[in-house]
Structure formats: structure tokens, C-alpha cells
Amino acid sequence: MSEEDFERSRPSLEQAAGLPRWLPQGAKHYLAHTSEGRSIRGLARKSGLHPSTVLRQVRRYEARRDDPLIDDALSELAQKMSGRVGNGKERTEQMGNEPQRFVPRVENEDQSPSESRIRSESLRVLRRLVETGAVLAVGRDMETAVVVRDAPDGSTTRSAVVDRAVAQTMALRDWIACHDPGARAARYHITAAGRAALRELIAASENRARALAEGPVDFIPARRSQIVEDVPQTQGQRFAVTDSPLVGLARRRDKDGKPFLTRVLLAAGERLREDYELSQMEPSCLRDWTDIFSGTADRATPKGSSASVAAYERVEAALLELGPGLGEVALRCCCHLEGLEITEQRLGWAARSGKIVLRIALQRLTRHYEVQHGRFGPLIG
């Protein structure tokens, strides 16, 4: 059997090594070349690419091994791949020279995050990373990564938490990048590819929400330039390509030159938004929160993961405490990221009155959190 025929008869990278389907092709080629010993030309013939293209992919991922997230992810995948390759060799020896009988093993979902989880978690984290001054901080010995945002006065606010495995997939997909990988706590910024992925994730999320509300519809993919513009302005519409209304309002000054929103008020609004995002991760927790102010809401506790249900209950308790008016402006501006002008128009309020009502709502929300959970609790996530 010639080398070319042998490479064609070999199983695909996903089958032979149990690699996740979401893994970029360049990473698969790098692992196959370094861990399994496949030749560059053999990988090129298998994938239909030019050998120089595969070589550039391999060299690129080799150069990115300084990144702690990428290095850990590739090391774990290489270890997993070597174990599966060893088992595959034993089966091949038992079956004889018949590689076409290779039976792939089913990927263990417990060892790597699923595509659906990656998309939902990435949507939540990328929304935070597009905010001004936001970075994803990862410690070398930490199992989780946190999104923090640096304020102009030098203070730091934590806005999201994500598992390290999900952060690794985001780094492998070039959605985030680290400019100083040698630091003890690596800080990652969103990339251009990450912003493009966020727009696509937002469009997919809005299409799912629309399908749940309207029933089965024919899906027509939008052009990339129309992903944000063509989405209808529904009540649950949320934007993540700019700063949230609270962050923009916190930059303003009152007549005395003091910030219009203090750090405590801003943190209360961010806490409500984080709980809202966590509650939306479970399909059973999806609901129209505006019905809570009309008294027609279903008070049944949804089923799902403990984290999402707990966040759902915290959002419900906060909105019930605020009540109509204050709760509506907090829901629209903090959770749905609706602008103050749009909120004033939809609620029939006078112009420039929304920021005053929002500040009162945040003051009441701060007091609610301090009474229920203490000043510094509960921890996000």
C-alpha cells in the first residue's frame, strides 16, 4: 500500500483522537502532527489543502504555546489524543491490516464542553468584553476566569465568571488574545474575530427567542452587515456592541461635578444584569419579565441547574421589591440594555426623566441587596 493510499484509509482526526468538533482545523492539524506523527503532506492530502497551508497552521499554533490558556488546552487534548491513539493501535493490531474497519469511540462530553454550552457561555462573556476597559483575567492555578473592568478612578469591577475550559475554547478560536502571556495573571482582550462571533451569536439568540415567541418560522440567514440592523426592536432586545446604559450614565457628572452614579449603584445594576444573564442560560427559566408588574406572572419555580434557578429567584425577588415603574426601568436598562430615550418613549415619561428614576431604582436595589445578602454578597456565579 502506498503512502497516499494509507493516508486516505486512515480515519479522520475526530474519529482517531476523539477531538471536539468545535476545535479549529489548524489546532487539529497541529495535534495530529505533533502527537500522532502524521506528516504535513499526509494531512494536506486528507484535508484537501496545500502542504504549505498546513505547515503555516502548525507553526502558528506552535508559536501560540506561550499563551497559558492555549498551552493548557493543547496539552490536555494531546494527552487525550495519545491515549485514544494507543487504543486505536491495539484494535488495529487485533483486526489485522484493515484500517477501514476502524470503529470510532464516542466523545466523552464530561471532558470537554459541548458546542451549545460554549455558545451560551461565550455569548455571556463576550457581551462583557466589548465594554470599555473590560478584560478576561486568568490565573495560572485558577479553575475559573473572571471578567473585570477598570474604571477611570483606578477601581476594578468584576462582572462575569467563566469556567477555564470555556475560556480555553475561546482562545483556541481566536475570540480572545493575551498581549502579555508571561504575566502571573494573564489578561485577555476581545479580538476582531471575537466581535464578529458575538454579532453572530446575538443574531442566533434573537432568532431562537423569536421562534419561541412566534412559533415555527422559516429562517433566512442575514448578511453580516445586517445582523444587528435587521433585528426587530422587541421588548427583550439586548445590544452588546457598546457600553451598557449604566456605564454611560456613570460617566456623567451632576451639577456639583460628582459622578451621577456612584460605584455602589453601578455595582447593584451590574449584579442584577449578571443574575439576569445567568437565569437565561436554562430554557425553563426563559420568560417575559414584564408580566411580573401586572400581577399575572406564574410564580412556579423553574427546573434546571441550581445556579440558573438561584439567579432566576434573585431577579424575581429584586423586581418584586422594586415594583412597577422602578422595576420596569431597571429591567429595561440593566437587563435588556435599552437606552434611556427609548425607555422614556415606551413608558410615556417626560424627556430626561428616565435617568432620575433609574438612579432611584438603583438606590432601592442597593438597599434590597444589602438587606437580603449583605453588602458584598452574594458572589456572582
pLDDT digits (tens, 9 = 90+) for 103-112: 333 334 345 6
Share of the chain above pLDDT 90, in %: 16
Helix and strand counts by DSSP (H, E) for the chain: 15, 5
Distance CA 354, CA 375 (A): 26
Q: Is 197 helix (H, G, I), strand (E, B) or coil?
A: helix
pLDDT for residue 304: 62
Who wins on pLDDT, 239 or 193?
A: 193
Q: CA dihedral in degrees (77, 83, 85, 91; nearest 10)? A: -150
pLDDT band per the 50, 70, 90 thresholds, residue 212: low
- Distance set, CA 33 to CA 4, 16, 80, 298, 372 (Å): 16, 13, 15, 56, 56
pLDDT for residue 84: 56
pLDDT for residue 353: 87
Total-model pTM: 0.57
Q: Which range is least confidently modeled, 147-161, 250-264, 313-327?
A: 147-161
pLDDT for residue 163: 87
- E strands along 276-376, which residues? none
Residue 12 is classified by DSSP as: P
Residue 219's beta-bridge partner residues? Answer: none
pLDDT for residue 91: 39
Residue 324 amino acid letter: P
pLDDT for residue 245: 77
Helix H or strand E encompassing 273: helix 263-279
Distance CA 66, CA 243 (A): 31
Residue 35 amino acid letter: S
pLDDT for residue 204: 83
Distance CA 319, CA 326 (A): 8
What mean pLDDT value characterizes the chain? 76
For residues 75-92, average pLDDT: 63
Q: Are 285 and 304 in contact (CB under 8 A)?
A: yes
- E strands along the chain, which residues? 134-139, 144-150, 156-163, 176-178, 185-190
pLDDT band per the 50, 70, 90 thresholds, residue 214: low
